Structures are given as C-alpha cells and as structure tokens.
A and B are shown apart, each in its own frame.
Chain A
Amino acid sequence: MTALPLNRRQLLGALGASGLLLAWHGLGLAASDSPRRLMVVLLRGGMDGLAAVPAYAEPGFAALRGALDTGAPGGEQTSLKLDGSFGLHPALRHCAAAYQAGELAVVHAVAPPYHGRSHFEAQDCLENGSDRPHASQDGWLNRSLSALPGSEGLAIASALPLMLRGPAPAETWSPSPLPEASGDLAQRVSRLYERDARLGPAFRRAADSQGLAMGRSEGRPRNRLPESIRQAASLMRGRDGLRLVMVEDGGWDTHARQGGAQGALAGKLGKLDEALATAKTALGPLWPQTVIVVATEFGRTVRVNGSGGTDHGTGGVMLLSGGAVRGGKVHADWPGLGPSALLDGRDLRPTTDSRAVFKGLLLAHLGLAESVLAERVFPNSRDIRPLEGLVHS
C-alpha cells in the first residue's frame, strides 16, 4: 500500500489545486464540532457467534463444541475472559483489551426476525429492516439517512448493498484491482467532465476520494477487511456529512474445517480484530464520536458437524466497538444451551432481535426519534424496543 503523501502528490498532478483544497479541508475538522458517526460492518456468510464469543461457563460447552472449542480462559491460547460466563476467541486480542477499556460491548443470542437459515433471505431481512425477507426494496440504513438531513451514506463496496439502497444520498467506493490511471489521463478526462452538469461533480469527487482512500488494493479479497475499514475511516474523516458508512466482508460460511484456536475461522477473526484496531487509529479524533457495529445474518449450529465445521444456525453475536460505546458489557438475555433450550434442537435460540440493537444505536447515538424508528426506519416495529445502555449519552 502506497503511503498517503505520495497519493496526495499524484492527486496534485491529476487535478491541480482547486479540487484539492476542497478535498483536504475536511481533515482539520475538530472532533467536538463533528456529528456522531455510525459504521456498520456486515459479515456475510454467518459468523459463528459461539466461536467468537464462547459461553465457556455453560455446562457441557466443550463437549458440544468438540474440535471447535477454544477452552476456558486462563490457559495458553485459550479464550480471553470477558466475564464469568463469556469469553472471546483467542484471535480477538485487541477486542479483549478494548472490552477491558470500556470501548467494546457484545450482544449475544441476537438474530434478525427471519429464522429460516438461508443466507440470501436472512441477509435480505437484516438489511431491509422489516420482519421478513423481500418486504422492502430499500434498506434501513438508507431510511436512517433520510431522517438525518444533510447527511450522506457510503458503502465500501462496488454495488450499493440493500441496507443502503433507497432515496437518500448514498454512494459506493471500493478499491480497484486495476492499475491507477496512467500518466495524466485523469487530468485530461476531468477537464472534459467540467461541461457535464450531472457527471462533472461526481467525477471531481471521485478524484478526491481516490486521493483520500487511495486507489489500489493489495492482498487477496479475503484479507481485505482491515483495508476496507481503514479506507472507510479515511473517507469519514475527509468528508463532511458522511455519517453512515457500511463495510462488508465475505467468507464467514464455515461449513468445513472451521478450526479452533487456530485455523480458518481464527484467521478471519484475527482480520476482524485487526480491522477494529485499525479503525481506532484511522478515525483519530472522530473515534469518541463513533460506533462500529459488527453484524452477521445468523449464527451457526451449536454442535460441530461431520466436516469439522458448523451449519447455518440462528442466534448469533453482534459486536459494538468505538469511543462512543459504553463497553465492558455483554448484553444477553441468555437462553442457555441445554437440549430443550436450543432452537429446533440445534441452534442458539435468539432472544434479542437485531433491530432492537440497531434501534438502540440510532436512538441514543444519532438521536433519531423513536416514532421514526418504529414506523419508517424499521416498519411496524413498535414492539421491538430499542436496546438501552449501548452508548454514552
């Protein structure tokens, strides 16, 4: 990854000074003047919540989890202690420290209201913000934007995810595997765009964003999460009004050879941990104003399957990270893992609706009205009360 100053210089070459002043102005923004921000990280595929946040004190937990178990806290390479009931996967080292520092909270046994175990439908439900898949053609994050006049949304993705689709202004940005435009092509092209009232401003902004976030991605797609979050953070810092940002990541569908303290999932969790640590550095002065919520479409089966993995389940985990988070707490109406407690005899039973978490954040962190949340952002959700105590007021 090229260092920032080099890209600034490239940008100077590409644009001349006029666009540049605009682009860098935002960086000096004082934290106290700046409105609060929310970043949503969607892990597609279904993160194994009990691997990320093991309920190590549950009777028979190690037996249920078999080869996936990371052991009770206290040993070498074992789970990291959160409280007397829950731990974190050993790969989530930074998260454990953030929890101790009061900047990370966990919501456990949480799921969107759809419990049918299809990725496609569960993601749709989680993103459209209603009580079922396909009930809305736009997303709750976009409808939240509509309630925040003057704000814009951004997804680190090449196609706008459903969560951000809708009438409010939202756009995408993603690193390009293509080489940066060579020579002065961008400069030559940008002159042509000056005559185009629709595309001109967009093209200028593109050049600005390339400079802020840096164009070139490196590394394999599966390792991109820390990079995406860093880019999201730099765009948030650089642009006034950018309050809702979404980052997505794939590869969490661990049906086979999931691994325990080491292995495939440990690698993914390590990247997530690195990503959240990166966010704090990259957000800098905005950190105290920020909440990052990490969500996934469902948890996975409690028991290990025949392929050393887990299958599609229901209840899972959300992580809340950020300077504005009231951390050091696991929010869970814990259903237990006994045979009769499991949903259909196989899944962690969800006791919290993911909409309650999103509503709690939008209410207390971004100041959206409860009635707006219950009617517009999450239609017909009056019965789903916003979760309290998630952020510093």
Chain B
Amino acid sequence: MDAAVIARNRFGLGARPGELDRDQPPARDWLLEQVQAGLSPTPPNMATLPDSRAAAAKFEDWALARARERRAGKSGAEADAAEQFRKSFQQDLLAEIGARADQQVRTETPFLERLVLFWSNHFALSADKPQVTGLVGPFEREVIRPRLLGSFADLLIAAEQHPAMLRFLDNANSFGPGSEFVRDPPRRLRRLASNNGQPLKLGLNENLAREILELHTLGVNGGYTQADVVELAKGISGWTVQTRLLRGGDAVGPHGFVWFAEAHEPGDRELLGRRYEAGGREQGEAMLRELARHPATARFLATKLARHFVADQPPASLVARLEQRYRASGGELGAVYRALIESPEAWQPEPRKLKRPEEFLVSALRATGLPAPREGKAWVASLSLLGQAPMRPGSPAGWPDEASAWIGPDSLWKRMQIAEQISEKLPARTEPLALARAALGPWLQADTIEAMQRAESTAQAVAILLSSPEFQWR
C-alpha cells in the first residue's frame, strides 16, 4: 500500500478512487509496464488539434494581415482582421490546454504524462511570444510525446529543429556571417530590410545555441565558453523555417523545418575541443549528438530528473546512478527511467516534493473523480492563480523545479480557495473520508480525518482534504 501510494503520487498524477485498493501489479511493475508499453500515439481528444504546419500558415496569414493593416491609411477592417487572427491563436491555445488537461485527468499512464510535462519544461517554450503562440501545443505533440522513451540525442535534435524552437529562440533569423545570404541577400530579404523603415541586419543569432548549451544539454556550469556558443550557432545556422519572405530551401521532416544552405556558415567548426568538418545540416546535427553524449549532459539531466521526481536536493547516490545509466546506455531515456524506478532512494517513505500547481490541480480532480473543465479557459485561470500559467513559463529556462522558487503563502492560500471551489462541484452523496482514503492511503493523517469528520458540510470536508498538507506533498 505504501509503495502504491508513492507510485501514484510521486511518479504519477494522483490516485483515482479504487486505484490504490484494486488488485494491481506491484507498484514498481506498474511503472515499468508504462515505460515498456510507451505512450499511445495521439490520444483521440488531441487528434483534431492543428499541427505545426497549420499553425505556421495561420501565423503567416496574420503577419500578412498586419502588414496590410500597417499600409492601410485608416484603421478599420484590416485592424479587425489582425485582431481576429490574434483571437483565433488564443482559441487554439485554449483548445490545446483543455485537451491536455483532459488527458492528464483521465490517463491510465500517468507516469508518462508526468514525463511529457517534464520534457516540455526542459525544452521550454512560452506562448507569450506571438510567433510561437500557435506552435507550443504542436511542439509537445510532435516532438515530446513521440520521443519520451527513445534516445536523448533524437529528442534533442527534434526539439531544436522544430519550427517552434527555431522561432522562439530566433534561429529562424540566424544567418552565418560568411553565408551566401549575407554576402548577397536575395530580393525578398532585401524587401524585409526596407519593411517598416528598419534596416535589417542579417547576421548570426546566438540565442538558440546559447540555450542549447546552458539549458538543454551541458547546463550553466557545463564548461563551455562564449567561443563554443558562437561555433554552435554557426553550426546550426541555416536551420530555419519557411516564411513569406524566405522561400525555398530544403524542407526536411514533416513539421516545417527547412534547411537553407545559403544561410549556413561555411567551413569547419570546433566545439568543446572537437572538430566538425564543413558540411550541410549534418554538421549541426553531429554537434548535437556529441553534446548529448557529453558527461556534463548526463550529469545535468540526471540531476534534473532526480530533482523533479524525488527531492529538491536529490540524494547524490541517486543522481550518480542515473548519470551512470545514461552514459552506459548511450543516452537511452527508457533505461534512465528504469534506473529511477529501481532506485531505493526514489521510494523513501517521506514525501519531499511539493506538487507543482498542475500536479495539484490534476490530482485534486483525479481524487474526486471530477472531469477536467470543458473549457481550457477555466484551467488557465486556475493555474495562473497558482502561479504557473500553462505553456507560459515566460522564460526558456522553464518553471524552476525547487518549491522555494514558487510556493509561497499566497499560492498556498489559493490552493485552499481552489480546493473549496472543486469541493462545491461534488454531488451531495459524496463520502469524503472514502475519497480521502482512496487518494492518500496511509499518508492520510489522523488530525485530517478528525477535521474532516467535524466539518460542517460534505463540501467542507472535501475542501479540507484537498487543502491538507499531505495532499500538497508527493
């Protein structure tokens, strides 16, 4: 029972009524089976959401509408058209968030859904940036979900080559200083130069390269220099997307990644003391594969995984084991998850992680058997109140995984308010203590039981359960 409650909470999204009691495989096997089986392809509720090509096309239409609006003398129809597009991006985003919430609340493979959240936060995008508002959702479905259990190198390359990332961290506008485009810009790019009266500076943009090193692979203390940032930026120059002003190139892959040889910096590169021969897009891919193999990356990812699942300050022995398994397996993520599940440190009885806002909200609905709200809007409102608006971490670093960074008096208070809001949706016949035992098993404390028994109403008893300290920890 202890192992089951740990598995469902620490590794999952909370227990639904009956899940702890049911005659189930032992807790470790339940997790290992999820890793074995993998995520089902596209959940039906996500099948109708737009893919990144549709989203990018819509963005281009919007850019065109906005350009027209600028050229038009008076405000009016054009301004309204651009506004319509903006609204429609927001609607797509809300539909995405709603479908995702529904998936989290109903899933039979909650460990894998947690991993989706983990990797989406690792390769964080923020819908704040208009160019990616419509792409954040497709990124998660096209990059993260299909590659949860494969090699990290494949995940890394897919993430950096997705239009969402290329736009979010500006590689779509990065041009090798010695590239053909910079020496002799095509007419369309020159027209961009006169757009809006701004001179266009065609040149290298280091943003994505820097974040790859700092946030996606080696980590901030991973031992790279500014020269490495520039070399990587040159290596991945020419990795871009198609826009109204930049047509042509070789379309690579199904999601809108385009290789422009004319924007790529020619020549050999040297990254972290290793040489990469001049070449096409494979040059940057070889650099990423090497970064994925780097010991600092193994260490960085092992630490992040252990911190996410086990403790803000994870046990060194656990980090070392995950790191070792990462290196021994050549960066196979499934092997690393198995090492995590098989590590005794991960099963310490005392919960040391506070649920993040999303985990709290999902687990509260799972515990009470309520569905996710039909409208993504309500979900966004609740999570924004709790301090982590979905798909808007506001920074490429994603949300911090140490509770001290985001749990404060105010967010605790709001958890109580949201707990009460949820409790009021329950039918009158609800038996609060049965729900409590089904959700928390042996973690349920005597004083919480007593407070629930003394509650003035069924709803208040449930609000106490969802507000209780033991419901905040996992």
Give A contacts to B, CB under 8 Å: 117-120, 124, 133-134, 137, 158-160, 162, 165, 171-174, 176-186, 188-189, 191-193, 195-196, 198-199, 202-210, 215, 255-257, 305-309, 311, 344-346
Number of A-B contacts (CB under 8 A): 161
Question: Closest CB-CB distance, B206 to chain A, in whole Å?
Answer: 10
Give B contacts to A, CB under 8 Å: 69-75, 78-79, 126, 128-129, 196-199, 207, 210-211, 220, 354, 381, 384-389, 394-397, 400, 405-414, 416-418, 420-421, 445, 447-448, 451, 454-456, 460, 463-464, 467-469, 472
B198 contacts A178, C-beta separation under 8 Å: no
B412 contacts A206, C-beta separation under 8 Å: yes
Question: Closest CB-CB distance, B97 to chain A, in whole Å?
Answer: 16
A176 contacts B385, C-beta separation under 8 Å: yes
- Residues in chain B near residue A183, CB distance under 8 A: 456, 460
B79 contacts A189, C-beta separation under 8 Å: no
A206 contacts B128, C-beta separation under 8 Å: no
The 6 closest A-B pairs by CB, nearest first: A206-B409, A171-B408, A307-B75, A206-B413, A196-B469, A205-B409
A344 contacts B409, C-beta separation under 8 Å: no
Give the residue among B395, B421, B447 with the most A Cβ atoms within 10 A: B395
Interface of B is mostly: helix
- Residues in chain A near residue B387, CB distance under 8 A: 158-160, 172
Give the residue among A119, A133, A206, A345 with the most B Cβ atoms within 10 A: A206
- Residues in chain B near residue A186, CB distance under 8 A: 416
Interface of A is mostly: loop
- Residues in chain B near residue A177, CB distance under 8 A: 381, 385
- Residues in chain B near residue A199, CB distance under 8 A: 354, 407, 412, 469, 472
Question: Closest CB-CB distance, A320 to chain B, in whole Å?
Answer: 27
Instruction: Return the chain A residue nearest B70 by Cβ.
Output: A306
A210 to B394, CA, bound (A): 27
Q: A308-B75, A344-B198 are in contact. Are A192 and B411 (CB under 8 A)?
A: no
B447 contacts A191, C-beta separation under 8 Å: yes
Question: Closest CB-CB distance, B209 to chain A, in whole Å?
Answer: 12
27 A–B contacts from the bound complex (CB under 8 Å)? A117-B198, A134-B211, A158-B384, A159-B406, A160-B387, A171-B409, A172-B408, A172-B410, A173-B409, A177-B385, A178-B418, A179-B417, A179-B420, A181-B416, A181-B417, A188-B455, A189-B463, A189-B467, A193-B469, A195-B447, A202-B408, A206-B413, A209-B409, A255-B79, A256-B75, A307-B72, A346-B196
A186 to B414, CA, bound (A): 11
A202 contacts B412, C-beta separation under 8 Å: yes
Question: Closest CB-CB distance, B388 to chain A, in whole Å?
Answer: 6
A346 to B199, CA, bound (A): 11
- Knowing that A192-B445, A192-B447 touch, tell me 4 more A-B residue pairs with CB under 8 angstroms: A178-B421, A181-B416, A195-B469, A199-B412
